[in-house]
């Protein structure tokens, strides 16, 4: 007996989605009407051929960790947009892209999506079954495109959105690679000097019974400490990282740490503007695609990646349910406020002065007045999505400028640090050597 998948409405107008077994479509519709539902869509749910296709594929699939890489999903979205613009059926487009994809999470998710569509599901329903590949933002935009009959346009917007986000992410990552590599190599070289070279000089000095200057005694003490406790050099950063990861598992710990990061010197501005650019573009894209405002705010909140912004968007959603606009609750809830965990991190980073800086920083809003004014104008003119795009463009540019400035600032600081460290070591070792040579001569 075939299985029919149907969509219907009950007496109150609520949408019902379910399946029913019946000998024919006519009898299925009659049964559904007897249940008190009005049928709006019905089709046969095809059984998956496990033995011929799905079963074999799943047996041959390797174990996959994590989700889909952002750059791979961005490329897939652009390719799907092009194929849909060319007029190909969605199922054929997905099969083409699945066939050319490399084995991994994206390829297997596309294969599952094709199976779901062949079984009678819509594209958004099929993609929602693979949350590790297609997140809520992706699925809801596809759903809005299907409802409005503009899937090609939505895919183009989604591709543009992901390409802009990926471009900004690459800029920040490329700016961070240089200092991280230089610092890692520098620490490795200095550790090697302390463990292998300085002890040799120390042995020579002890054999000749030289009276060492203060600089040399300090260097020898540091060398002895590094030799005895070398494992703390990687251990301390890893321990701090694990402590922060564990702390962020708790609600108040996550709020405190995220607030500290937003207002941290140098890095805080970059993080704050990056989140503002991403959330503004996300919200603008969802609104332009026809996603309901409350659902759009919920998705934007979930994709912000920061507890302070999540709290702000949650308060905005509550205000909208009560009949308010976005601009006013955004302004009222953009102040981080006091949090003891954030104070702890400020005090730990810069003792005493850090606590005073925090009391000043916590009074600074996370959303500038210009953003609130543009949102207000967008709501009044009915061009909220356009205004949000403009806000995102402005902050994208500011993030790029800050990233370039930070890179240019870090480079000379690293050179000064390395030069100072090497100069200190050379001077500390050569002062007693010169004294030794003079005594011998």
> SS3 for 19?
strand
In degrees rounded to 5, what are phi and psi of residue 32? -65, -40
Place of tokens 């409405």: 9
Per-residue pLDDT of the chain (441 residues; tens, 9 = 90+): 567 777 777 766 667 777 887 777 777 777 877 787 777 777 766 544 443 444 434 445 666 666 788 888 888 888 988 888 888 888 888 889 888 888 888 888 888 889 888 888 888 888 888 888 888 788 888 887 777 677 788 888 888 888 888 887 887 777 778 888 888 888 888 888 888 888 888 888 888 777 788 888 888 888 888 888 888 888 998 999 999 999 988 988 999 999 998 888 778 888 888 889 888 988 888 888 888 888 888 888 888 888 999 999 999 999 998 888 888 899 888 888 888 888 888 888 877 787 788 888 888 888 888 889 999 999 888 889 899 989 988 988 888 888 888 878 888 888 888 888 888 888 888 888 887 777 776
Rounded distance between C-alpha atoms, residue 396 and residue 377, angstroms = 21
Contact 248, 254 (CB under 8 A): yes
The 10 Å Cβ neighbour count of residue 220 is 20
Rounded distance between C-alpha atoms, residue 425 and residue 222, angstroms = 11
Q: Name the pTM for this structure.
A: 0.71
In degrees rounded to 5, what are phi and psi of residue 364? -95, 130
Residue-wise pLDDT tens digits, 103-158: 888 888 888 889 888 888 888 888 888 888 888 788 888 887 777 677 788 888 88
Place of tokens 């405002």: 293
Give the domain 168-423 fold.
Answer: Receptor-associated Protein (1.20.81)
Helix axes 293-304, 307-321, angle to 10 degrees: 170
- How is residue 302 written in tokens? 């979930």
Contact 155, 84 (CB under 8 A): yes
Q: Which helix (H) or strand (E) holds 43?
A: strand 38-44
Rounded distance between C-alpha atoms, residue 221 and residue 43, angstroms = 80
């Amino acid at each position: 007996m075939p299985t029919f998948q149907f969509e219907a409405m009950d007496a109150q107008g609520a949408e019902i989605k379910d399946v029913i077994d019946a000998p024919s479509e006519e009898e299925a519709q009659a049964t559904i009407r007897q249940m008190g539902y009005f049928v709006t869509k019905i089709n046969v749910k095809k059984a998956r051929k496990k033995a011929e296709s799905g079963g074999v594929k799943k047996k041959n699939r390797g174990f996959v960790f994590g989700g889909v890489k952002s750059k791979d999903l961005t490329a897939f979205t652009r390719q799907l947009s092009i194929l849909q613009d060319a007029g190909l059926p969605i199922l054929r487009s997905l099969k083409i892209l699945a066939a050319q994809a490399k084995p991994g999470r994206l390829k297997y998710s596309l294969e599952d999506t094709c199976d779901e569509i062949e079984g009678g599901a819509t594209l958004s329903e099929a993609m929602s079954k693979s949350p590790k590949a297609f997140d809520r933002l992706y699925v809801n935009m596809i759903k809005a495109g299907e409802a409005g009959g503009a899937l090609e346009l939505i895919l183009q917007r989604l591709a543009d959105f992901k390409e802009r986000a990926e471009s900004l992410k690459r800029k920040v990552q490329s700016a961070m690679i240089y200092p991280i590599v230089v610092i890692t190599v520098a620490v490795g070289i200095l550790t090697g000097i302390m463990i292998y070279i300085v002890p040799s000089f120390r042995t020579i000095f002890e054999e000749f019974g030289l009276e060492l200057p203060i600089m040399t005694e300090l260097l020898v003490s540091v060398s002895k400490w590094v030799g005895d406790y070398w494992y703390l050099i990687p251990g301390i950063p890893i321990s701090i990282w694990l402590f922060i990861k564990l702390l962020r598992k708790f609600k108040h710990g996550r709020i405190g740490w995220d607030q500290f990061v937003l207002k941290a010197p140098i890095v805080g501005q970059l993080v704050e503007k990056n989140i503002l650019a991403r959330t503004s573009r996300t919200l603008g894209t969802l609104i332009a695609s026809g996603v309901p405002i409350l659902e759009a705010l919920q998705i934007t909140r979930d994709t912000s990646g920061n507890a302070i912004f999540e709290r702000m968007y949650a308060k905005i959603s509550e205000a909208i349910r009560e009949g308010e606009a976005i601009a006013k609750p955004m302004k009222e809830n953009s102040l981080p406020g006091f949090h003891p965990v954030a104070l702890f991190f400020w005090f730990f980073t810069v003792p005493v002065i850090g606590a005073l800086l925090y009391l000043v920083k916590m009074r600074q809003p996370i959303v500038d007045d210009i953003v609130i004014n543009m949102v207000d104008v967008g709501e009044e003119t009915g061009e909220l999505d356009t205004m949000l795009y403009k806000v995102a463009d402005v902050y994208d540019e500011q993030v790029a400028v800050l990233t370039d400035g930070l890179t240019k600032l870090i480079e000379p600081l690293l050179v000064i640090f390395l030069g100072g460290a090497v100069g200190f070591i050379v001077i500390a070792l050569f002062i007693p050597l010169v004294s030794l040579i003079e005594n011998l001569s």
